[in-house]
Structure 1
Amino acid sequence: MRQRAPFEHCELCGRQVPLTFHHLIPRKMHRRPRFQKHFTREQLNAGIWVCQACHRGIHKLYDEMTLARDFNTLAKLQDDPAVQRHVAWVGKQRRRKG
C-alpha cells in the first residue's frame, strides 16, 4: 500500500498538485558502505514530497551520488541556484489536465 503525501503542496515549488516522494539520499546509495556508516536508517529513508515536475528536475540536474553527498536535505536543495531556477520555472507552469 502506497503512503499518502502528508503535504498538500510541493515542498519545493509550492504548487497544489499530485505529489511524489523524493528520497533525499537516493535508494541506489543505501547499500554503499559510505552511506551505511554515516547515516542512520531513518536518515537514509528520509525524503520530501514534491510534484512530478520538481522531482524530474532534481534528477535531471544531478546524479544519485551528487544528490546523496551534496543535496541530502531540503534546505540544501532549496539553497542550490540550479534547483532555484528550475523551481521558479516550474512555479510558472500550468497544471496539466487529465
Structure 2
Amino acid sequence: MAKAGRGRCELCLRDHVERTIHHLTPREFGGGPEDTSKLCIPCHKQIHALYPNSELAIRLNAIEKLQDDPEMKKYLNWIKKQPAGKLPRIKKSGYRRL
C-alpha cells in the first residue's frame, strides 16, 4: 500500500486518519495515477474485502458510486462512528460475481 500521509479519508470523510492510495479503476484494468483517491486504511481494506477488482473497474470506479453502494453504506455508517486511530479487523467476504 502506498502511503498518502494523515488527512481526511475521501470515502468515510473521517479526519486525521492515516491514508493510503486507492486506484478507483484497478491498475490491471487500465487505472493510472490520475485515477486515485486517498482513503483511510480500514476503508481501503473493506473495499477490497467486499469486491473483486473486476467489479471495482466496471461498477464502483468513483467515490460517489462506492458511497452509494448498499454494502459500503452499512460499513460507512459504522466506521464514521469509530475514532481516527482505530484499525478494525476486516474479514474477507465471498466475492459477488457480475
Which range, TM-score by smaller chain?
A: 0.7 to 0.9
Q: Distance in 2 between matches of 1:4 and 1:53?
A: 14
Equivalent in 42, 51, 55 of residue 40 of structure 2 = 51
Q: Is the counterpart of residue 11 in structure 1 residue 10 in structure 2?
A: yes
Where is the helix percentage greater, Structure 1 or Structure 2?
A: 1
Q: Is the counterpart of residue 70 in structure 1 residue 59 in structure 2?
A: yes
CA positional deviation for 1:4: 4.4
Aligned to 2:77: 88
Q: Distance in 2 between matches of 1:3 and 1:54?
A: 14
Figure out how many residues of one structure are paired with residues of the other and give that number: 82
Structure 1 segments of 4+ aligned residues over 2 angstroms from their partners = 2-5
Q: Report 1 or 2 for greater relative contact order, CA contacts < 8 Å, sequence distance ≥ 6.
A: 1
Identity of aligned residues (%): 38
- Normalised TM-score (structure 2): 0.72
Aligned to 1:25: 25
Tell me the amino acid that sits aligned with residue 12 of structure 2.
C
- Normalised TM-score (structure 1): 0.72
Q: Which runs of 5+ in 1 are unaligned?
A: 31-43
Tell me the amino acid that sits aligned with residue 9 of structure 1.
R
Structure number with greater Rg is 1
Q: Distance in 1 between matches of 2:13 and 2:67?
A: 12
